[in-house]
Amino acid sequence: MREVNGFFLFELGGVALLRALPPNADLTPSLGILVNSRTNFRNFAYAPESKQDLPSSVDDADDLVKKLDAVIERRPFPSATPDELTQIAYRLVTFRDRLCAELARLYCFVCEDKDGRSVRTLWTKSLSLISSNVVPHLSDFTTENIEEGAKAWVVDRPTAVGFHMMRSVECVLRQYKQLVTGQGFSFVDKRGTTQYQGFGTLLGDLNKQLEDSKKNNRPFGKLEFVIGILRPLSRLYRDPLSHPELKKLEEEDAKLAFSQGIIAISTMVQDALVSRVIS
């Protein structure tokens, strides 16, 4: 991320900066652009990772900060001489060239936004994608797996996305099934070993509860909606993730696993809060 962002400092910020620097003019109207460029180059130059991996680029960025400081701090108004403009343009080009050269010697992984969700959000704030009234009711296990699933998506590991999201969904599904049906989700076999119901069994129990509620004219909240959300997850993701001989998930599978998983978790918790009167 830092390497790619550094390159964009030139490709985007550099062009805008040069346009905002007519020589021997009052640059007050462009002060916002100048300050923003100065801040971006300073952040790049002061990042420990940049200093370690991109030392020559850091030198250029640091020099650009000093030159921009001189322009911004000039009185009675911000201004640049023709010579300063030439120096800044030259330093921008050397920054680009050195950055490209140093990047070529590093192992770089380009991260892209996923389905309209930014890399930063998925990597650092994935829980912000869930309603704020839902998150406090999720276990640490659930939130940790959502966060891991989001990070796996960022680095293009679709099977890992499905694995972590299904763990999160199943964790919430167990509690939801117990709340809706009044029945547990585990049992002790003949050997005295505790066994847990599988995803399909849990879903089947919910479906039986829905049919019974409809037959006896009892309210069932969002249960039917929840079942509709869970079915494709059960059919498309549970089996591939449970059996290693089956094919890996693809990018579109990861997209559905993450998006559908978030919706399923949110809907189950919201139904519990509203229809089941859970505090």
Cβ(51)–Cβ(58) below 8 Å: yes
One pLDDT digit (tens) per residue for the chain, 279 residues: 444 444 444 444 566 677 778 888 998 988 988 898 889 899 989 989 889 889 999 999 999 999 999 999 999 999 999 999 899 989 988 988 898 888 888 876 778 899 999 999 999 999 999 999 999 999 999 999 999 999 999 999 998 999 899 999 999 999 999 998 888 887 777 888 888 888 888 999 999 999 988 888 888 888 999 999 998 888 765 555 555 556 678 899 899 899 999 999 999 999 988 875 443
The DSSP code for 90 is H
Cβ(255)–Cβ(115) below 8 Å: yes
The DSSP code for 248 is P
Domain residue extents for the chain: 2-103, 119-274
The DSSP code for 182 is S
3-state secondary structure of 61: helix
Beta bridge partners, 196, equal 186
Place of tokens 């108004």: 77
